[in-house]
Amino acid sequence: MRLVGREKGRNCAKLWGISQYAIDLEVNGIPYQFVPYTLFLFASALMTLALAVYGMRHRHVPGTDILALCMMIGTLWSVSNVFEVSAMTMEHKLFWANLQYIAYSLGPVAWFLTSCQFTGRAHWIQWKTVLPLFIIPALTIFLVWFDPVWGLVRTNLTLNTAGPIYVLDKQYGPWFLVHFAQSYALNFASIFLAGQAALNKNSIYRGQALFLLGGIGLVVISNLLYVLGVRPASHDITPLVFSVASGLMFWAIYRFDLFSLVPIAWERVLEAMETGVVVVDESGRVVDLNPAFSRMFGSKDGIGMLLEDISPELASLERKSGTDQHLEMKHRIQEQENFYDVSVSIVTDRLSRVRGKVMVITDITALKLAQARLSLEQQELAIAQERTRFTQDLHDNLGQALAFSSLQVRAICRELDRGNTEKTRTYTHRLGEVLHEIQQEMRAYVHGMRAREYENTSLRMLLEKQLQILREHDDFRSEDIVLNLTGEGFSPEEKMQICQIVREALSNILKHSAATSVHVELFPSGLNWILSIVDNGVGFDPNQALHAKQGGSGLAIISERASLLGGKLHISSMPGRTEIRVEFPLTKGDHNDAHYDCR
């Protein structure tokens, strides 16, 4: 046991003592021989180094930094292989072979990241997903230096001096299988991604993918044949194949602008777009999104989440089957209601099977507000025109009737002075008829005016007019006055009753509540409509207010108007929150007429 331990110690001393040989090269003689084959390896190192420098100088272009990493790994591999092939001692060969394991271990990871960047999967390249890929390579690089002692990566290391080039013979240890499994899983994943891109992309992008596939494929196949023992030479020619792969990369850069067009340009376009874009798979899980979508729906790390967890409204649209869709929706974030135009497109594969959906969301809130303001202005103009017509009618009809009444009064006075009671009675009777006609006509005018206003104006606009009074009040801020209206389709009579209820409630709030915010909502619930007016005032005792001889008339009026709607009044009040809630039944046609009121 002691002899074995001492022998292993001497092996480690020889292994780590390679630095002394490197320093004394010119003093004690050089333990290397010139091998013409190494000229090709030097040429390969120069090509990969040139590509690495190109990547570093253009690192502002996405993808070139990873390309530089791949080429640096290739340079290390070629240079280390030059000295391993030329070395004539066990210690020197083992040192340079160990250095090559840095390239063996990190190369597959770098190729995989390169493939992800090129094929539009840059969102995969995140620290939380990339760091685990470096665990096995780091352990392999560490363990390989202790092979003379532990033999986990390579065992039975011997120097074969039978041929013109000395070769390091070895057998693979148990850890090599772990390293091999991860490396070739990543290698084949890289080939798959590049091959998929070559099949799916067109014109110049297809050429890019083919060159990338050729470069990765050559390196992977060459190294795999060496590991499996299918060797055209006694040593690993993969570093030499790297020169061919780097040549393909050079040609792809100058012929097809590799890493300068797609998908990098496409990702930049998506990131710069003000329109939100989200891609979901068949299960409704988000697989990609752009920053605009994250801003719209407040989801910074949405990739991998269910769309329903981000926006139930969008998820309900996504679940609808059929062809492409184009519709509008609204979404609330932190008490702010936004409107969106949504375009849903089906994503299919080459066999026309549905694989997911792409949603393009445009914020049209500003447009809706502008349309609402325009509609309000148009309605105000129509009302002004109606008032002008009403004034003219009053002037023509009522003015004529009043002038006639004035003449009748004079005639009555004249006949009274003459003592002619019969004519006085006749004139008085006629005056009464005219006044009655005036009264009926005035009622008709007023009723018709109100009916036309409630018939031609949307409920939202009618309620907004009432809320505007609060917004102009010093105790309220505009953003604290909120109106949420989910439905329309009410008759003019129903509109009038709803408006009167809201008007009376707002009047009570202004007079008694000392509130600073008011929320008015109208929405369907089951078979009823719910009208809710909530404020943050001081509150009151509902029972005492309803039965009070003074001060409760406003609530009584609300209760009466709720009854006219066929509903009931419910009041809940405490300091900081008072709710006036009226529930009344859906009328015939409400189910068909109810819609988002965006007028």
CB 98 within 8 A of CB 144: yes
pLDDT at 289: 84
pLDDT (tens digit per residue) in 205-243: 566 677 777 877 887 787 777 777 776 655 667 776 766
Instruction: Say if residue 352's pLDDT is above 80.
Output: no
- Does 406 lie in the same domain as 307? no
Among 28-32, 436-440, 549-553, where is mean pLDDT lowest?
549-553
Mean pLDDT for 114-134 is: 80
**16-43: per-residue pLDDT in tens?**
333 333 333 333 457 888 888 888 888 8
pLDDT over 50 (residue 561): yes
- Domain presence at residue 74: yes
For residues 331-341, average pLDDT = 77
Any domain includes 169: yes
pLDDT in tens, 519-537: 999 999 888 899 999 999 9
Q: What is the pTM for the complete model shown? A: 0.43
Same domain, 61 and 129: yes
> Same domain, yes or no, for 66 and 202?
yes
Q: Which of 300, 262, 283, 245 is nearest to 67 (CA)?
A: 245
pLDDT value of residue 27: 34
Let me know whether 278 and 412 are in one domain.
Answer: no
Query: Is the domain of 27 the same as that of 56?
Result: yes
C-alpha 317/C-alpha 277 separation (Å) is 15
Q: Say which amino acid occupies 201.
A: K
CA 581/CA 578 separation, integer angstroms: 10
Q: How far apart are CA 233 and CA 247, in angstroms?
A: 22
Per-range mean pLDDT, top range of 438-442, 458-462, 584-588: 458-462
Structure tokens at 122: 């840059």
Q: Write out the E strands in 79-194.
A: 154-160, 167-172
Question: Is residue 598 one of the residues assigned to a domain?
Answer: no
Helical pair 90-118 and 64-86, crossing angle rounded to 10 deg? 160
- The distance of Cα 413 from the centroid of its chain, to the nearest Å, equals 84
Q: Is residue 531 part of a domain?
A: yes
In percent, the amount of the chain with pLDDT more than 90 equals: 14
Residue 548 has pLDDT above 80, yes or no: no
CATH number where 560 lies: 3.30.565.10
Which domain, by its residues, includes 405?
368-456
How distant, in Å, are the alpha carbons of 3, 519, 527, 547, 577 from that of 555? 104, 18, 25, 10, 17
Give, in order, the Cα–Cα distances in Å from 42 to each of 95, 164, 236: 19, 20, 15
- Whether 599 is in a domain gets the answer no
Q: Are residues 101 and 244 in the same domain?
A: yes
pLDDT for 402 beyond 50: yes
> Is residue 393 predicted with pLDDT exceeding 80?
no
Number of domains in the chain: 4
Structure token digits, residue 451:
């009916």
Q: Which of 91, 599, 540, 145 is nearest to 375 (CA)?
A: 599
Ramachandran class of 286: left when φ > 0, alpha when ψ lies in -120 to 50, beta otherwise: beta
Say if 436 falls within a structural domain: yes
pLDDT at 340 over 50: yes
Note whether 221 and 88 are same-domain residues: yes
Does 415 map to a domain?
yes
Last residue of a domain, one of 340, 363, 386: 363
- Are residues 434 and 420 part of one domain? yes
Residue 190 neighbours by CB distance under 10 Å: 27
Give the per-residue pLDDT at 28. 46
Reading the block at residue 165, the tokens are 């080039």
- Which of 247, 264, 281 lies at the terminal end of a domain, its last residue? 264
pLDDT for 19 equals: 35
Which range has the worst mean pLDDT, 181-195, 259-273, 288-302, 554-568?
259-273
Which two structure tokens, joined as six digits, stand for 274? 């003000």
Domain membership flag for residue 434: yes
Task: Give the best-scoring range by mean pLDDT among 173-187, 225-239, 401-415.
Answer: 173-187
Residues 236 and 456: their CA atoms lie apart, in Å, by 86
The confidence score (pLDDT) of residue 26 equals: 34
The reply to whether 308 and 427 lie within a common domain is: no
> In the predicted model, what is the mean pLDDT of residues 408-426?
84
20, 161: one domain: yes
- If asked whether residues 451 and 465 sit together in one domain, one would say no
Q: What is the average pLDDT score of the chain?
A: 77
- Supply the CATH number for residue 53's domain: 1.20.1070
Judged against a pLDDT cut of 80, whether residue 338 lies above it is answered with yes
Same structural domain for residues 347 and 403?
A: no
pLDDT single digits (tens) 284-299: 888 888 888 888 887 7
Compute the average pLDDT of residues 83-109.
Answer: 90
Residue 529: its pLDDT value, please? 92
Report the CATH number at residue 290: 3.30.450.20
- Out of 391, 426, 456, pick the residue that ends a domain: 456
